[in-house]
Amino acid sequence: MKKGKKILIGILELFTLISFIYLTLFIGDKHEPWADEAQAWLLARDTTIPELLQNYMGYEGSPALWHLILKAFIAIGWKYEYYYVIPILFSAIGVAILEFKTKIPLIFKITIPFTYYIFYQYSIVARSYCLLFPTLMYLATIYNKKTEKPILFGIGIAILLSISAHTCILAATISFIYGLQVLKLTYNYIKKKDSIRLKLLIKNWIIIFVLFSLFLVTAYYVRTPADHVEFKNIEYRKWKYIITILSDSLITNDKNILMCLGTSIVAVIVLFVGYFRDKRFFEAILLILPVYLFLALFYCNKWHIGIIFEIILFILIVHNKLKEDRLIQIIFLLVCAVQIIYSVNTAIYDLTRQYSACKDIVRFINNNNYQDKNIYGIGYSATAIEPYFEKNIFANKKNNKGFYSWREDEPEYMSIEEMKDNLPEILIISSFSSSSYASLINRVETGKLYEKYYFEGATYVKDEVYENEGFYVYVSINLLSANKDFQNSEVVILNR
């Protein structure tokens, strides 16, 4: 490559990275974190490390790496208002590796960073999944030399298994492939068919032992407790998820089952054509299938589907398909184009609408000096309000911890009957959970002792609103009459 062209490519790669950082920081500053984002922060803030590992990770269904990272940031005084910077930092590391360490065509280096899951869902939304892209990009740089660089490979797998339940399965799959390669090397060494050094072979076996131990430890502390409120009676997913997950990870949004089916069929055909007579076909299938089945049959939500997209991207990079296969290049470029449109849609929504009403609730409380009043926060979504205060402000949580407990019949929470008998000065109920607290709402509204407000908010996925993140707020008449300087939030809709 000529020197001038190489410099130009370097400039474009750097410009892509800078653009990614600037745009995500700009959108992140406007983003209202919702409950899932707040939950991790509060767990990091309100627990010790032993408490976190022993008592809560099983209920979260996730390893603790993200929470430990947040705990480190909190320890140095990081404010929740700048929470969005943390996931963007990790995503930017992934983009930097993609730009400067992978050997893929420039067009993909320019487009991939702005695809929906990398740009928005796993960067703007602050969750543990922001660690997946940089980890996979790191592993992509050493994957084909993993037995030659076992320590570096082991570090990547250790990080991968600590991100989420889904990535733990992926890490186990990659480790299985790695184990088979080490077994083959060992066999060849014994038969004198391979010149691999004994010291390097021993290193590989040590890494396998260490990784296996880490898997056992992780599986132990994230095991699901019997009294988990969400998973106690979990049912297997319907057959349609097997169809929609692949298509949704690429270009669709689960609206039309026939379109999802058609997209999935085309994707599978392209995969078969791209891997025709390629011995790595079964490796590609093995890398995707376990996580795919876990999503389809056990636990999947809109934001989890992007894991499949990033796995596919990882496979295409390590198998050089984005560099060598013309058909896959064309199809994947179309996928990137559609996802960039989704990124634009979602970014515009986040900049112009309320992703969560939490910030408006916080302003409402602060503007009227209600922080020390008797406040009940009802429903998981109300967790999004807590991190803006130095400690738990909801009196219905007896343990004074801000995060939400997934334990069935949590003894540290007031029951509905207790709350009905001891009504607060302010009651905040997430609209998403309002139906579960109908008797409490009826008790409050029939007494005519409260003024009712509604704060709007809703999460958004690709091109449509997904879940309601608004809140009903009931303020006692006595409290309002005592507050002569009462201030309402600009976006609050008053329902009389």
Residue 213 burial (CB count, 10 A): 10
Lay out the sheet containing 450-455: strands in order across.
375-378, 426-430, 471-476, 450-455, 492-494
Residue 489's pLDDT is 47
Angle at 128 between CA 127 and CA 132, to 5 degrees: 120
Residue 493's pLDDT is 41
Question: Measuring CA to CA, which residue among 283, 317, 275 is closest to residue 177?
Answer: 283
Residue 65 is classified by DSSP as H
Ranges of residues in the chain with a pLDDT under 70 are: 1, 193-195, 229-239, 483-496
481/382 Cα distance (integer angstroms): 26
Question: For residue 401, which phi and psi values (nearest 5 degrees)?
Answer: -105, 135
Question: For residue 114, which phi and psi values (nearest 5 degrees)?
Answer: -105, 10
Sort 467 into a burial class: Cβ within 10 Å, 0-12 / 13-18 / 19+: middle
Residue 494's pLDDT is 41
17/88 Cα distance (integer angstroms): 11
71/442 Cα distance (integer angstroms): 40
Residue 193's pLDDT is 67
487/366 Cα distance (integer angstroms): 10
Report yes or no: 457 and 403 within 8 Å, Cβ to Cβ: no
pLDDT digits (tens, 9 = 90+) for 354-394: 999 999 999 999 988 898 899 999 989 999 999 999 999 99
305/292 Cα distance (integer angstroms): 9
Residue 205 burial (CB count, 10 A): 15
